[in-house]
A and B are shown apart, each in its own frame.
Chain A
């Protein structure tokens, strides 16, 4: 919370789009500048979002205590789930720490996804603790050009193919991945289709048909 608010109000609406999910979904938990309509009373904050933020704060504390404050970029809520954005340098260590830490024991990966934004590529990891019932959204991000992240395969073997898929479709180089190859597309495919600036015609060298690209 403490970090989120200034960041959100400072960020231009376009750059912030799609990242502080919970904050905006609840619309009012953190009213962004110029967004709250003057004639409209902000609705009461959703208790689920508040709880998520609270938990995210505790997560933030745990990771920051262990790895220093610069390891955590942000904490907040992704819809009704606590969200923690971790610096990519600390990604592997922090995730492993949360996996083994007795308070968290986030031992079960539910979903891993990469998303391309205009200024960065974000990788989201929804992890679950099967014993303690936590369900957390961990995030990290990398610049779009020269995109790399540490691989989590040594921690969660189950993200092996998910990371390959992200590499394949978004072009993120997972360092330390045992077998980083394309998985969905051909080995000789050019480009990474899930990047927003990907164009079918621009990056492939298709033969001309009747003087035009097909």
Chain B
């Protein structure tokens, strides 16, 4: 008995570990203050704002067209989607009809962007888990997408390509054929990733049953995108509130079953396949010619009022909320940032986990700090 008492008196000391702001796995300047006992996490406190640029405040002094380049810099891995989300909100507010060809170009670009973003997720996630090669493989495919974007928009990351009422340029000659050639190439690569990663026992051990939450929690925390769908909850805005021309395409919304990190990884892989399907259909349906910019007043003024619309971004619901007082600049612009909202659940997920799971869980949330901090 005395021995047992003595053993109970052994005191272990908790320590505070500062993960970040400079850390290889925080994907940017993100700081996570974790209290650990041994390697077990007792508590975690995310600290954000290191990349806060005040986009919302800046936008109050900018005309609507001028805001578009700023949206590029929110989620810089999915700038096309940001561009679209903003233009879409303004178009809805003004009831602008977007020409067919522009809509199809937009959908092709958005889905390609989604693929690029998901690719990068897979690469960085595997890098977080210690596998190095997928990270370099994904950049080869992403490079092709980025090159295609470069050809159509002139930039590799910050495209500034969508315009209110359409897109900036029509596709250069031969561009659509390049996209057509990309689709089967990407299909092969998805298969390759599947055999490289999905079957790996160590990967499965690291991700199965890690970071589990259910649909109810996810909804209460306002999560969206793959983070929500991994729990098996069917919620894809492309389906639930079809915007643009998504109601014309036939695609599936892959759902997870367990709500763990593996599901989140696997949904990214499956969604790339679905995006390819959409790209393929859009390439078939796109009209050969036609204007790419609708009838839009030169100086855009939104009637006074409040406008919100969200789209299915690469990381979840990406929405823009505009308060207008009838001038050519928004009175207030609020961005519904999916990573920002999704990140909130992190402390709950981390409590009681091993520190090695921290990386697995944080990586699977798929954050981009440019968006979290805006």
State if A and B touch, Cβ cutoff 8 Å.
yes
Q: Which residues of A contact B (CB under 8 A)?
A: 17-25, 27, 78-79, 81, 83, 107-111, 113-116, 124, 126, 130, 135, 137, 156-162, 169, 182-186, 193-194
A17 to chain B: which residues have CB within 8 Å? 304, 325-326, 331
* B321 lies within 8 A of A111 (CB): yes
* A25 lies within 8 A of B373 (CB): no
25 A-B pairs (CB sep. < 8 Å)? A17-B331, A18-B325, A19-B306, A21-B307, A24-B304, A78-B305, A79-B308, A107-B220, A110-B310, A110-B336, A111-B319, A111-B321, A111-B336, A115-B331, A124-B321, A126-B308, A130-B233, A137-B306, A157-B220, A158-B344, A159-B222, A161-B340, A183-B48, A193-B54, A194-B332
* B220 lies within 8 A of A113 (CB): no
Among A27, A126, A169, the residue within 8 A (CB) of B321 is: A126
B307 to chain A: which residues have CB within 8 Å? 21, 78-79
Within residues 33 to 73 of chain B, which ones have a CB less than 8 A from any CB in chain A?
Answer: 48-49, 52, 54, 56-57
Write the nearest CB–CB distance from A99 to chain B, whole angstroms: 10
Which residue of A has the minimal Cβ distance to B324? A18
Docked complex Cα distance between A184 and B30 (Å): 12
B54 to chain A: which residues have CB within 8 Å? 193
A183 to chain B: which residues have CB within 8 Å? 48-49
Which residue of A has the minimal Cβ distance to B234? A130
When A and B form their complex, which 8 residue pairs have the shortest distance between CB atoms, in order from nearest?
A: A21-B305, A158-B222, A113-B334, A158-B221, A21-B306, A111-B336, A184-B49, A184-B52
Among A78, A110, A137, A157, the residue within 8 A (CB) of B319 is: A110
Docked complex Cα distance between A38 and B50 (Å): 54
Q: Which of A17, A21, A124 has the most CB of B within 10 A?
A: A21
B223 to chain A: which residues have CB within 8 Å? 158
Within residues 326 to 358 of chain B, which ones have a CB less than 8 A from any CB in chain A?
Answer: 326, 331-332, 334, 336, 340-341, 343-344
Write the nearest CB–CB distance from A109 to chain B, whole angstroms: 5
How does the 8 Å CB contact mask read for B227-267 relative to A, with 1 for contact and 0 for none?
00000010100000100000000000000000000000000
Within residues 135 to 161 of chain B, which ones have a CB less than 8 A from any CB in chain A?
Answer: none
* A156 lies within 8 A of B222 (CB): yes
Which residue of A has the minimal Cβ distance to B233? A130
B325 to chain A: which residues have CB within 8 Å? 17-18
* B317 lies within 8 A of A110 (CB): yes
Write the nearest CB–CB distance from B371 to chain A, whole angstroms: 13
A83 to chain B: which residues have CB within 8 Å? 306
A18 to chain B: which residues have CB within 8 Å? 304-306, 323-325, 331
* B49 lies within 8 A of A115 (CB): no
Docked complex Cα distance between A108 and B216 (Å): 10
Write the nearest CB–CB distance from A29 to chain B, whole angstroms: 12
B334 to chain A: which residues have CB within 8 Å? 111, 113-115
Which residue of A has the minimal Cβ distance to B302? A25
Write the nearest CB–CB distance from A193 to chain B, whole angstroms: 5
Which residue of A has the minimal Cβ distance to B336? A111
Other contacts beyond A115-B332, A124-B306, A159-B222: 14, CB < 8 A: A17-B304, A19-B306, A21-B307, A21-B323, A24-B304, A25-B303, A25-B305, A78-B308, A114-B334, A130-B235, A156-B222, A158-B223, A184-B49, A194-B56
